[in-house]
Amino acid sequence: MRLLMSDDFAVRCTSCEFTWNTAAMADGLRVLGACPKCKGALEFRDDAPPPAPAAPARDADASAAPHMVLGLPRI
């Protein structure tokens, strides 16, 4: 996991070169789509946001669970 607390930026305006360093601002600016200061184009360091951790698919897990595949052992 990379830290954002570096000298790098999360978002940078390609026009006025203002930088934002927090993921929260990156999210907001991604929605905004342009530099709030000069309406310039934004450069996102992480253009492809990492996929959110997949929530465990309970259905898939259940169907793949051994007792669901093989059937509950019953005597």
User: Can you tell me which of 19, 25, 30, 40 binds Zn ion, judged by CB under 5 A?
Assistant: 40
What distance in Å separates the CA atoms of residue 7 and residue 4, rounded to the nearest whole number?
A: 8
With binding defined as CB under 5 A, does residue 10 bind Zn ion?
Answer: no
Contact 31, 48 (CB under 8 A): no
> Rule CB under 5 A: is residue 32 a binding residue for Zn ion?
no
Question: In whole angstroms, how close is the CB of 35 to Zn ion at the nearest point?
Answer: 3
Provide the residue type at 75 as one letter: I
Sole window of 24-32, 34-42, 48-56, 66-74 interacting with Zn ion (rule: CB under 5 A): 34-42
Evaluate whether 31 touches 20 at the Cβ level (below 8 Å): no
